[in-house]
Amino acid sequence: MSRRTLGRGLVVVGVILVLVSLLADVIGIGGTDTFGWKQVVGVVAGGVVAIVGYFLAMWNPKRDQTEAAE
């Protein structure tokens, strides 16, 4: 599996986690009608996973090596 494919997969998983966490009360899996700490953890974790995935997908080590050689 390439780094780009892994990164794209992480972005998708992260965005899904953020959306599920944000919409937990609306779709009926939240405990109360308020935004709880578990939803906050889900949003933060999903955001971190999506950001890491974005950088994995976009990072090109060959380009970094050629810029350093110049």
pLDDT in tens, 23-40: 998 888 877 778 889 999
Spatial separation of the C-alpha atoms in residues 50 and 22, rounded to whole Å = 15
CB count in 10 Å sphere of residue 41: 11
More confident residue, 65 or 32: 32
Spatial separation of the C-alpha atoms in residues 42 and 17, rounded to whole Å = 6
Prediction pTM value: 0.81
Statement: residue 14 has pLDDT above 70: yes
Statement: residue 2 has pLDDT above 80: yes
pLDDT at 9: 97
Give the number of domains in the chain: 1
Spatial separation of the C-alpha atoms in residues 62 and 38, rounded to whole Å = 40
- Placement of tokens 């308020």 in the chain: 34
More confident residue, 55 or 65: 55
Q: Name the residue range of residue 29's domain.
A: 3-69
